[in-house]
């Protein structure tokens, strides 16, 4: 959705606004960066405090920080999506649904 939205924004601004003459190259870079950030955000970042922080693993299990970070990311994402991708949002309506 984000990629389609951006392509529509650039298409409406004209050919001089296009970020790349080869959109698939930009999409591949976008995908790779997303996968790397997703891996770091969902696995590496929570695994480090889980490995080194002292907490009662009998009570909270061995993946407390994994749970906390995943919940934070998902709740944060829910609220952002609720605002950004509404059909009533004029920018979204113009470039994604138009």
- What pLDDT, in 10s, does the model give residues 50-82? 888 888 889 988 889 989 988 998 899 898 888
Q: 23-27, 47-51, 80-84, 86-90: lowest mean pLDDT where?
A: 86-90
Q: What is the pTM of this model?
A: 0.58
Concatenated DSSP letters for the chain?
-HHHHHHHHHHHH-GGG-S-S-HHHHHHHHHHHHHHHHHIIIIIHHHHHHHHS---HHHH-TTHHHHHHHHHHHHHHHHHHHHHT-TT-HHHHHHT--
Q: What is the span of the domain harbouring residue 19?
A: 2-95
Q: Quick check: 94 pLDDT over 90? A: no
Higher pLDDT, 22 or 20: 22
How far is residue 36's CA from residue 34's CA, in Å, rounded to a whole number? 6
Rg (alpha carbons) of the chain, rounded to whole number: 19
Token reading at 28? 């591949």
Instruction: Give the model's confidence band at 97: pLDDT under 50 very low, under 70 low, under 90 confident, else very high.
Output: low
Query: How many independent structural domains does the chain possess?
Result: 1
């Amino acid at each position: 959705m984000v990629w389609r939205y951006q392509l529509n924004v650039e298409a409406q601004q004209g050919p001089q606004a296009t970020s790349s003459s080869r959109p698939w190259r930009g999409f591949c870079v976008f995908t790779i960066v997303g996968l790397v950030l997703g891996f770091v955000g969902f696995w590496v970042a929570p695994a480090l405090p889980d490995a080194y922080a002292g907490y009662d693993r009998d009570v909270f299990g061995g993946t407390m920080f994994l749970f906390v970070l995943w919940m934070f990311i998902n709740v944060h994402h829910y609220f952002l999506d609720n605002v950004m991708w509404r059909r009533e949002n004029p920018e979204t309506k113009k470039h994604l649904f138009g």
